[in-house]
Amino acid sequence: MSSVEAGKRFAQYCSVGRTSHEFTNPHRARNRRQSWPRQEHRAETRRTVADSSTFPAFADQLRQTLKTHWQRERINFLVNNAGIGIRAGFAATTEAQFDELVNIHFKGAFFLTQTLLPLIADGGRIVNLSSGLARFSLPGYAAYAAMKGAMEVLTRYMAKELGPRGIAANIVAPGAIETDFGGGEVRDNAQLNAGIASQTALSRVGLPDDIGGVIAALLSPESGWINGQRIEVSGGIFL
């Protein structure tokens, strides 16, 4: 799904700061609306998740931004939601396509989270993004789905190894969502949209709001005991 559209919905639910890596900074709960960063503050903390060499500089900028604009040293939540879609069959996938998917969907999330660990508060939360394609198989998504499967395994290891700090890690696996992901095909191709809806128990394709609310729920105080779990949000596709 589109990281931009899902991020917007998630931010609307949480009223928190957002970057292309989806780091979130809730500030005090009662002041969340007031602590929404101005656009120029958000721009200061943007980096490409595909290039792990930029992560130390990103962490430094984030540390300074937290201190300057929010008078704090830690973030509470990290949502690894950056992503792209490349549709290519197993036999046709190029090494360049594979590397791009690895860098964004797996290596980027792995090393960005590692780099930001000193900035994540004890008792914080990490939410990663997977895909329904890690459970069921459709032609053209072998490499993409493999990265998402890797993220599901990594999430369990995060939950185990960060548990002593009270940091919970979970992964959300959306089904097909009406966004601009993959060129907006699910949203704009009526035949494809209807076909997916026919295979979904709730008889429709997902919307960004369906995902944002789940991520926000995982970051709420009431969900603190959920850890190391894969949560599929697909309306019951291919049951």
CA atoms of 205 and 69, how far apart (whole Å):
39
Q: Given the residues 13, 52, 107, 148, select the one marked as catalytic.
A: 148
- CA 159, 206, 6 angle in degrees (round to 5)? 55
Q: Given the residues 3, 130, 141, 234, select the one marked as catalytic.
A: 130
Instruction: Return the H-helix or E-strand segment holding 197.
Output: helix 190-198
* Contact between 147 and 193 (Cβ < 8 Å): no
**Is 1 exposed, middle or buried (CB count within 10 Å of its CB: 0-12, 13-18, 19+)?**
buried
Q: Is position 2 annotated as part of the catalytic site?
A: no
**Which amino acid would we find at residue 63?**
R
Q: Is position 223 annotated as part of the catalytic site?
A: no
What is the chain's Cα-based Rg? 17
Q: Mark residue 166 as left, alpha or beta (left: phi above 0; alpha: psi -120 to 50; beta: remaining).
A: left
Q: Given the residues 2, 52, 141, 144, select the one marked as catalytic.
A: 144
Q: Is position 67 annotated as part of the catalytic site?
A: no
Q: Given the residues 131, 203, 223, 234, select the one marked as catalytic.
A: 131
**How far is the CA of 220 from the CAs of 25, 69, 124, 186, 223, in angstroms?**
13, 23, 11, 30, 6
Q: Is position 157 annotated as part of the catalytic site?
A: no
CA atoms of 129 and 152, how far apart (whole Å):
8
Catalytic residue numbers, as ranges: 130-131, 144, 148
